[in-house]
Amino acid sequence: MYLISDNIDTQTGMRLAGIEGVVVHEADALKKVLDEVVKNREIGIVLITEKLGRLLPAYIKEIKLNYRTPLIVEIPDRHGTGRTRDSITRYVREAIGLRI
């Protein structure tokens, strides 16, 4: 596992759990780290904070679609999730047109 975070607190917490990672704040730095991570065969799962996931959504989606590993998982940071209460139901409604 590897963490790409936008804040040191999340990195510190994950480091205490044995997960190494980096802190980045800009899209170009994030892209550079993602390029390195994709090449590293020892990394199977990448944890990325939601805030960073919003910086390069198309690039992250491209990695998810075109590479078997690593699995990229967006996680909330220390401030909580950026998703609204109905984000999953809204996603289903937009994707397939069903209201649940």
- Domain ranges for the chain: 2-96
d(CA 61, CA 57): 6
The reply to whether the predicted model has a pTM over 0.85 is no
92 class by beta-carbon count within 10 Å (0-12 exposed, 13-18 middle, 19+ buried): middle
Query: SS3 of 38, please?
Result: helix
d(CA 86, CA 63): 27
Provide Rg for the chain, Cα atoms: 15
Low-confidence ranges of the chain (pLDDT < 50): none
**CATH fold label, 2-96:** Rossmann fold (3.40.50)
